[in-house]
Structures are given as structure tokens and as C-alpha cells.
Amino acid sequence: MQSLTSLLQAHRDITLTEGVDVNGEEVQVYTPSDNKDDDSQKDLRGSLVSYLERLDSEFSKSLQNMDQHTVEYMDRMRDEQVLYKHIVAAQKYLQSVNNIPSTCRLVMLRMEHLYFKVG
């Protein structure tokens, strides 16, 4: 995840798209075989937010299926810091490309992690 956000930051001509634009129309998605010398904007199919939401969901499920009094559970809890760092990095990238809806989804995900820590 860290490598992906770093690559997207470094190559501003490549963006990830979920395959549908704001008007609900299919987006033309770039494939590597398309005109390799073209310096125009390239849209790759994928979603940082969906991936992180799924990763967060799987993390929560793994914690629910463990005994809270074991060393394994405590080790797994440390993984939340790494997950949170990935969420923050993805949010920074999405803010830099002005993807407001996806940024809002990640802000909500961050708030869920903070709320359950404090609350």
C-alpha cells in the first residue's frame, strides 16, 4: 500500500479510477499496451478507498475471532498502527488530486479508528 501511494504521488499522469465518472458513464481505462509514448493522463482501474475499507473490515473480523487475553491478540492490535498509517497516506494522496468523495470516506474511516480508541 505504501509503495502504491508513493508511485501515485511520483507519477501524477497516472490516476486510479473506479471505472465510472461522476455522471455515471463508463471511463476509458488505460492499458499498458495503449500508446506507450503518450504523455497524457492515464486512468487505471482500482480504488484505494475500497481496498482500505476491505482491509479494515478484515482486520476487525480477525480481532473478533480471537481471544482478547492472548499474546496473539495483542500482536494483532499492533497492526492497527500500520493500517492507520496507510489510511493517512491514501488520504493525503486523494486530497492532493482533489478527490473529495474518496477523501471523505477515508476521513470517516480514520474517525472510526480514533473514536473506538478514545471512546
Q: How far apart are the first and last CA of the chain?
A: 28
Position 30 scores a pLDDT of 43
Task: Indicate whether this model's pTM tops 0.85.
Answer: no
Residue ranges in the chain whose pLDDT is less than 50: 29-32, 119
The pLDDT of residue 99: 87
Q: What is the pLDDT of residue 83?
A: 94
What's residue 87's pLDDT? 95
Counting the structural domains of the chain, the total is 1
pLDDT at 24: 54
Q: Report the C-alpha gap between 99 and 91 in whole angstroms.
A: 9
CA distance 90 to 57: 17
Domain that holds residue 39: 2-118
- In sequence order, the β-bridge partners of residue 26 are 20
